[in-house]
Structure 1
Amino acid sequence: LTVSLGRRRALAAGAASAAVGSLVVTSGALASALALIVAGSALLGAGGAAVMLCRYAAAETVSEPMRAKAMASVLTATTVGAVAGPNLLAPASRAAADLGLPALGGAYVFGAAAFALMAVVLAAGPRGAAAGARAAEADAEAASTASAAPGLTVLALSNLVMVAVMTMAPVQMEHAGGHLGGIGLMVSVHIAGMFAPSPVSARLVGRLGARRAAALAGLVMAASCTLAAADAHSTAALTAAMALLGAGWNLGLVSGSALLTASLPREVRLRREGLGEVVMGVAAALGGLACGPLVAVGGYPALAACGAVAAALVPGLVGRLDQRV
């Protein structure tokens, strides 16, 4: 879509799909139809993809040395929504009840309005330059799998480890006797760690280079998982580990995105950006599927230990793949 329509219209299409999906979920809740809720959730995911792809839109407006900083600025802005969103659940639920809708449907109604506004803002802007008919030819000539491998590896492993270890953290805290307030605080701290350190991540990428920053991201995530495995029954230790895990993921996202798209023609970058998001999504799905059985067999410490091993692979893999390019 970006190649044929330009970046703004492509992102607007993703936001519009999410707005429709939010309404479909609400309709499914009213009708007690799980199929509608699932279908609407799939459409809603398109909005998440559009939000994440906005970092590349920002990067395209600046020179190559400033791309990491531009991407980080979008992730920093995402922090505002990530923190404010959960706090809108209660008023949105009350508003939905006043309208005769299921209380939890209020969040989706609000989401539909927010994504619709996003689509309008994006569509109203000037149309970005499309890549043109030469895109496929340029992609075939310049975008080899080998050159994409370092960035894809960082993005995939960062998302795999973060999703797998974090998904079961609230369950572990509850089993360890934690209360809902503590669990909510841990999740909030983790989300803040995922986005708030973006300026620091951009600075590290600028100073160290994307490859060394990616290696550091792997080490930070490995350290966080090790802490979670060593003291999984401590609320304080688990909260600290999840904050560190979020920060490591953020550095992995910024450095991996920079590795994936550095010094490439626009036509090639567009396809790389989409490929990177697909790889991140697949990795997240695998992490979500694997974490439950791992905890069932070996407990949360076993899951966290596996996460530490996977994260520790990042420095070596990135260095080895980078040498082959």
Structure 2
Amino acid sequence: MLSGFGTGASLSVGALVLAEMSGNEAISGLASALFNAGAAAAGIPLARIAARRGRRRALVVGSFVAVAGALVAILAAAVDAWPLFALGVAMVGVSSAVSLLARFAATDLAVPANRARDLSFVVWSITVGAVVGPNLITPGEAVGDALGILPLAGVFVFALIAQLLAALVNWIGLRPDPLLEARRLPVETGPVTLPGAGEAVDGGEGSAAAAPARASGAAGGTVAGPAAAPPAGAGARWGVIIAIAAAQAIMVALMAMTPLHLMHHEGTPAIVGITLSLHIAGMYALSPVFGALASRLGRLRVVGLGWGLLLAAVVLSYVAGPSHLLVQVALTLLGLGWSAVTVAGAALLTDLTPSAERPRWQGRSDTIMSAAGALAGVLSGVAFAYGDFSFLALVAGGLLAAGVIASVACGGRRPRDR
């Protein structure tokens, strides 16, 4: 919740502050790009810390980097140095990597059949802070005035406090460390029957069957077997990663330019805040629903549902024009589609990866996902300056096609693996 609070507050004003400080709207997309670049740069290092020292240390280190980033952004606003502000935004972006790592922490001790559900609860918990964050523009302006800095930059004071509290909560409360505990406890081996598959799959430490019987005590019974696929080859995992990255790129590209688009059509900071709140609510609020659907219907079917929602968002963005209402509906659907693809995709990646290799593959996924968002943030500013919001929607449509192809490739494996 606290991590989402800082993220929502930063993303709500990053593009506006950078545009005002630099005097160039074409580079306003750098705010979102650098935020995601910070998350991308932190993904693999945090995964390595988690693999060696546990999830708790990795999460706390990431939050403290974000605290330092918020402080840098505030100081940059005080001296009116937009390159320094951009660096601060990139460091605050590490908070996004912390949120991504936290959702995988929910799977470390999860019964395999409940992985998607448990992961989605962590994603859902971000909702409170992430939705409130964009509406802190007005209080942030008051804080900025009080500090004698650019008013909009006052929002980063809230981000600093939230990230500091997030670090303290994880350091005190995340005991025992879920990843280290999962390695310490005994592992169930033996044949596992996949529901609906009609055949048994060999168990063992390298398979999804090796996932925790160790968690059975908390779940209230022994583990009969996962409701997910056994570990697969690297090709299938890369397909999932590409699909998740495409969804992230679409989401960032359209979201990053929404504040400027609205302001160009008689929008106000309050309207921008409401629109981004609706978008972020779509990203997180229904994640438990998508987690439950992924467990009941299958991961790939929920990924397909996500692509349908993203397609609707792209179409509405293309036709929205000056209509604030259509933009708000499009951004809400954008968040919902992103949630479906990323929740089901993250659960599928965990299912398809042997337990010993999960931190490495999860780190790769988070890094590529954030890098795709960073690149989309840069290109979205260029596309918006070159054309308009409709042109940007066309570009997003091309990314959507790439994501669908990657998803189809994941589903084209042998029936036994599927």
When normalised by structure 1's length, the TM-score is 0.86
- Once structures 1 and 2 are overlaid, which stretch shifts more, 256-265 or 240-249? 256-265
How far apart in 1 are the matches of 2:292 and 2:354? 24
Aligned partner of 1:7 in structure 2 is 55
Aligned partner of 1:84 in structure 2 is 132
Residues 117-158 of structure 1: CA distance to partner in whole angstroms, max 9, x if unpaired? 2212222243525498xxxxx8xxx88541312221221110
- Once structures 1 and 2 are overlaid, which stretch shifts more, 48-57 or 257-266? 257-266
How far apart in 1 are the matches of 2:307 and 2:233? 24
CA contact (8 A) 2:244 2:403 kept: no
2:155 aligned to 97, 107, 110, which one? 107
Aligned-CA RMSD value: 2.7
Report how far residue 308 of structure 1 moved: 2.6
| 1:1-325 aligned within 5 A | 1-95=49-143, 97-98=145-146, 103-104=151-152, 106-124=154-172, 125-126=174-175, 128=177, 129-130=179-180, 145-324=234-413
How far apart in 1 are the matches of 2:167 and 2:320? 45
Q: In the alignment, residue 258 of structure 2 is paired with which amino acid?
A: A
CA contact (8 A) 2:132 2:277 kept: no
- Once structures 1 and 2 are overlaid, which stretch shifts more, 93-102 or 1-10? 93-102
1:303–1:99 Cα change, 3 Å: closer
Report how far residue 294 of structure 1 moved: 2.8
Report how far residue 177 of structure 1 moved: 4.0
How far apart in 1 are the matches of 2:246 and 2:263? 27
- Aligned residue for 1:168, secondary structure, equals helix
Q: In the alignment, residue 4 of structure 1 is paired with which amino acid?
A: R
When normalised by structure 2's length, the TM-score is 0.68
Structure 1, unaligned stretches of length 5 or more? 133-137
1:307–1:266 Cα change, 3 Å: same
1:265–1:42 Cα change, 3 Å: same
- Once structures 1 and 2 are overlaid, which stretch shifts more, 192-201 or 176-185? 176-185
- Once structures 1 and 2 are overlaid, which stretch shifts more, 106-115 or 238-247? 106-115
Report how far residue 185 of structure 1 moved: 2.6
1:92–1:226 Cα change, 3 Å: closer
- Once structures 1 and 2 are overlaid, which stretch shifts more, 90-99 or 251-260? 90-99
- Aligned residue for 2:322, secondary structure, equals coil
Q: In the alignment, residue 156 of structure 1 is paired with which amino acid?
A: A
- Aligned residue for 1:294, secondary structure, equals helix
Q: In the alignment, residue 52 of structure 1 is paired with which amino acid?
A: L
1:173–1:92 Cα change, 3 Å: closer
Aligned partner of 1:135 in structure 2 is none
Residues 24-76 of structure 1: CA distance to partner in whole angstroms, max 9, x if unpaired? 32233334444543333332222221122211112223111111111111121
Report how far residue 7 of structure 1 moved: 0.6
1:70–1:152 Cα change, 3 Å: same
CA contact (8 A) 2:237 2:352 kept: no
How far apart in 1 are the matches of 2:384 and 2:77? 31
Report how far residue 304 of structure 1 moved: 1.1
CA contact (8 A) 1:219 1:311 kept: no
1:119–1:231 Cα change, 3 Å: closer
CA contact (8 A) 1:151 1:258 kept: no
CA contact (8 A) 1:29 1:102 kept: yes
1:94–1:186 Cα change, 3 Å: closer
How far apart in 1 are the matches of 2:153 and 2:320? 38
- Once structures 1 and 2 are overlaid, which stretch shifts more, 206-215 or 245-254? 206-215
- Aligned residue for 2:175, secondary structure, equals coil
1:162–1:318 Cα change, 3 Å: same
Residues 193-239 of structure 1: CA distance to partner in whole angstroms, max 9, x if unpaired? 11111122112212221112112211210122112213433222222
- Once structures 1 and 2 are overlaid, which stretch shifts more, 315-324 or 110-119? 315-324
Q: In the alignment, residue 299 of structure 1 is paired with which amino acid?
A: D
Q: In the alignment, residue 167 of structure 1 is paired with which amino acid?
A: A
How far apart in 2 are the matches of 1:114 and 1:295? 32
Residues 72-113 of structure 1: CA distance to partner in whole angstroms, max 9, x if unpaired? 111211110012223444445545655666655543333222
CA contact (8 A) 1:222 1:307 kept: no
- Percent identity between matched residues is 33
How far apart in 1 are the matches of 2:145 and 2:261? 33
CA contact (8 A) 1:194 1:249 kept: yes
